[in-house]
Amino acid sequence: MQLKFIFLFFLMATTFASCQQGAKKSSESENLAVQVAGLDFPATVQPIEKTEEEWKSELTDQEFYVLRKAGTEYAFSGDLWDNKKEGVYTCRGCQLPLFSSATKYRSGTGWPSFYEPIKDAYIGEDVDYKIGYKRTEVHCARCDGHLGHVFPDGPQPTGLRYCINSVSLDFVANEAEEEEEMEKP
């Protein structure tokens, strides 16, 4: 009887230790950087809070209007809607990586469109009724900058269309893409 008790106790202790170690590994892996296009980005999102004056001093008038006041640039007017280079699209307000060129597609709307973010946790969502009907607004999870909207009419595999203002984004080209550009006469 005593031997069974010792064996049972040993089995429970081993199982508990294994679970703790698994939880620790899971927690550690969540804190590892996300690597996209050869670039390392943070795996966690620490919120950035700045005053309106700080944002105004760091952003152009158009960037401030879109990112901080939830404005929209005119269709086909942004510098990234027709970008075909390979790389990563980051938040113009805080440089958090938001979308990969691998998930960008031509939607015909005049804004950069993506079917999936790099990491779901990098994108926040709110309900928006600004033009009279319900839409899902998307914003940067780190700086709360307005990006655009997401619609359920995108391509597979997600069926989503993240319709994003170019002025809300910066583009970081893949290293190979940058080298090709430098080699051109």
Burial of 110 (0-12, 13-18, 19+ CB in 10 A): middle
**Structure tokens given for 174:** 């893949």
Question: 42: cis peptide before it, omega within 30°?
Answer: no
| CB environment 153-179: b (16+ within 10 A), e (fewer) | ebeeeeebbbbbbbbbbbbbbbeeeee
Q: Which of 91, 94, 140, 163 is catalytic?
A: 163
* Tokens 């809607």 found at: 81
Residue 94 annotated among the catalytic residues of the structure: no
Query: In whole angstroms, what is the distance from residue 159 CA to residue 72 CA?
Result: 23
Bridge partner residues of 139 (DSSP): 124, 146
How many CB atoms are closer than 10 A to CB 111?
A: 23
Element holding 21 (H helix, E strand): helix 2-30
Instruction: Identify the DSSP state of 36.
Output: E
Active site residues: 163
